[in-house]
Chains A and B, each alone.
Chain A
């Protein structure tokens, strides 16, 4: 028999317990925890340079080392044995070079003009295969032409001089994410943001800049709305992201790349992907991705029959910035 008194007692105790638990419960916010590297999962051919919490890290299957400390950097690149990253502050950003021990060497591009009206942004540095010049985007032309959007520039590492190589239309949205073809130093791809003429919908196309002819031409159409391309080490394949019509996520595409442009595209997956990159080991790719409302982590995946398989996290802690690219270099045998 169930005792009435005991039952009432249980009811009251747990009713109150539920009420007070709710009143005491504090919200568990999704917070980033210290980054953890699972670098042993990297392909042995690959060295990855990335930034987390403003510091540059170098990862290989054997090692994970922190290069800089308290530097507040994003978008790292390697220059020979040295490193560089974008130092982004309120109102401006600069590109700063560090040696292999993390000591600051010099400022390659200074966006801090002291006066806010003259301050500049530098974004998306990408070093060419010959290691002699860096492609980047910046709004520095606004001081001369009034053009507010990011244009595409080259920084000559010997002379330190910059030159404009592609200009967007006024108020188009601008240029982003230059990518070199490591197999052909005359080919530079970039994203060009615009609006459709009639409905004023934003879109982006992948453009190709030919350093021989100094001409740019589109590789994709406005209806494709694609961005953040990456070329395979042999220059024969391309990955890129396509914005889905739901406005919520993107699709990851793999295609052939040649003088005929982009052909045979296949969709690998849809989700919250950013900055896909090829491994130097055939069949593997890397990308940034996030779970639900968490921040971003780096993943490796195998591509089998046009699908992502063996998805492996290389970092945990959700403290990579989705809008900060990383660089992959080949480890020489």
Chain B
């Protein structure tokens, strides 16, 4: 019986198969490293969950994600839980293809996590860290917070530097005669004079921090700062989308920010949010909201003499309802009505 000869695969085909396999396994290896680093980053930077009794029972809504962004500028100065001077809820509505950014004034007068006292909302985190800040946002506005991300001074600088800086239009000149010099300084109370000219310019991490952190000599004080923070977030997002940085840079970017950011966003959630944005880029509606004085709030004083922002229950609840729905509006109205500790 004649020997049945095995059909030989042409050399070029074999080489092609090995080449494709090599590329695929290289990508697998690379991706595996990135995923492990990102997972490690999230795990190492997530605050331990500490139960804080919420006064409202909220559940996440389908097709929506609420991400609470928190920023502190005194995390390097003092021990204990830092204030969260920046508080912004980013609301993703997948069905409506909307992203809303809702900024909360740091001086907004609200009921504290203890449920017995009142204070500025940025002080909530002093009670029990990030869980307290989340709890106060939930109980004040009726917004279920699905995820959070917190960044301190150095984390902010490193995040901007990690993407090579940002090109941003300073929409107003920023002159500040008492800007804190607490970066790389042993004196937490030092100050310097700041002069940022208006117009398009390239800012590194430290310069971008100066732009969004300054609030002295500004007619609208913290509200001006909030406007600049939102602008920087949009610019940063734009920078990332247009960036020359590639997937190859991801591990180094995460490494540079390790320990400077706290979040419970795991790679899958990050992928989900990024996919939503990238696949619907052209059709997504993005809106920005804040409780501006005059329209949604007024500046006043607490009975203990602090300068505070008092939310207008009617207009604020209507704004919150527009973004987060009627249940949130209802809770906002009640939480901002009959607040205690405010000078008449």
Q: Known contacts A119-B193, A272-B167; is A293 also within 8 Å of B251 by CB?
A: no
Q: CB < 8 Å: which of A25, A30, A274, A275 contacts B248?
A: A25
Contacts of A119 in B (CB 8 A): 193
Q: How far is the CB of A227 from chain B (nearest CB, A)?
A: 6
B223 A200 Cβ-Cβ under 8 A: yes
CA distance A202 to B172 in the complex (A): 7
A171 B218 Cβ-Cβ under 8 A: yes
Q: CB < 8 Å: which of B162, B172, B223, B238 contacts A248?
A: B238
CA distance A311 to B298 in the complex (A): 50
A15 B25 Cβ-Cβ under 8 A: yes
B197 A323 Cβ-Cβ under 8 A: yes
Q: How far is the CB of B88 from chain A (nearest CB, A)?
A: 15
B235 A193 Cβ-Cβ under 8 A: no
A18 B197 Cβ-Cβ under 8 A: no
Instruction: Say yes or no for B180: interface residue by CB 8 A criterion.
Output: no
Interface residues of A in 187-214 (CB under 8 A from B): 191, 193, 195, 198-200, 202, 204
B26 A21 Cβ-Cβ under 8 A: yes
Q: Known contacts A171-B218, A195-B220, A243-B171; is A121 also within 8 Å of B195 by CB?
A: yes
Contacts of A290 in B (CB 8 A): 167, 200, 202
A15 B28 Cβ-Cβ under 8 A: yes
A174 B175 Cβ-Cβ under 8 A: yes
A193 B172 Cβ-Cβ under 8 A: yes
Q: CB < 8 Å: which of B173, B199, B224 contacts A241?
A: B199
A204 B198 Cβ-Cβ under 8 A: yes
Q: Known contacts A30-B164, A323-B199; is A250 also within 8 Å of B169 by CB?
A: yes
B199 A22 Cβ-Cβ under 8 A: no
CA distance A87 to B103 in the complex (A): 38
Q: Known contacts A22-B34, A248-B234, A293-B166; is A200 also within 8 Å of B197 by CB?
A: no
Contacts of B167 in A (CB 8 A): 272, 290, 292-294, 296, 322
Of B41-49, B71-79, B288-296, B334-342, the one with at least 4 CB within 8 A of chain A: B288-296
Contacts of B169 in A (CB 8 A): 243, 247-250, 272
Contacts of B34 in A (CB 8 A): 22
Q: Known contacts A17-B26, A22-B30, A149-B175; is A193 also within 8 Å of B195 by CB?
A: no
Q: CB < 8 Å: which of B25, B175, B201 contacts A18?
A: B25
CA distance A14 to B32 in the complex (A): 12
Q: What 1/0 flags go to A68-99 for Cβ under 8 Å of B?
A: 00000000000000000000101111000000
Q: What 1/0 flags go to B189-206 for Cβ under 8 Å of A?
A: 001110111111110000
Instruction: Say yes or no for A116: interface residue by CB 8 A criterion.
Output: yes
CA distance A295 to B9 in the complex (A): 53
Contacts of A20 in B (CB 8 A): 29
Q: How far is the CB of A179 from chain B (nearest CB, A)?
A: 13
Q: Known contacts A173-B173, A200-B219, A247-B234; is A322 also within 8 Å of B201 by CB?
A: yes
B198 A250 Cβ-Cβ under 8 A: no
Q: How far is the CB of A249 from chain B (nearest CB, A)?
A: 7
Instruction: Say yes or no for A29: interface residue by CB 8 A criterion.
Output: yes
A200 B244 Cβ-Cβ under 8 A: no
B175 A250 Cβ-Cβ under 8 A: no
Offer 19 A-B interface pairs, CB within 8 angstroms, sorted by A.
A2-B14, A2-B18, A7-B17, A14-B23, A19-B29, A22-B248, A116-B193, A149-B175, A171-B218, A174-B173, A200-B294, A243-B171, A248-B235, A273-B200, A288-B200, A292-B167, A322-B202, A323-B170, A323-B196
List chain B positions with a Cβ less than 8 A from chain A: 6-9, 14, 17-18, 21-23, 25-34, 161-167, 169-173, 175, 177, 191-193, 195-202, 217-220, 223-224, 227, 230-231, 234-235, 238-239, 242-245, 248-249, 251-253, 256, 292-295
List chain A positions with a Cβ less than 8 A from chain B: 1-2, 6-7, 10-23, 25-31, 88, 90-93, 116, 119, 121, 123-124, 139, 142, 148-150, 171-174, 176-177, 191, 193, 195, 198-200, 202, 204, 227-228, 241, 243, 246-250, 272-275, 288, 290, 292-296, 318, 321-323
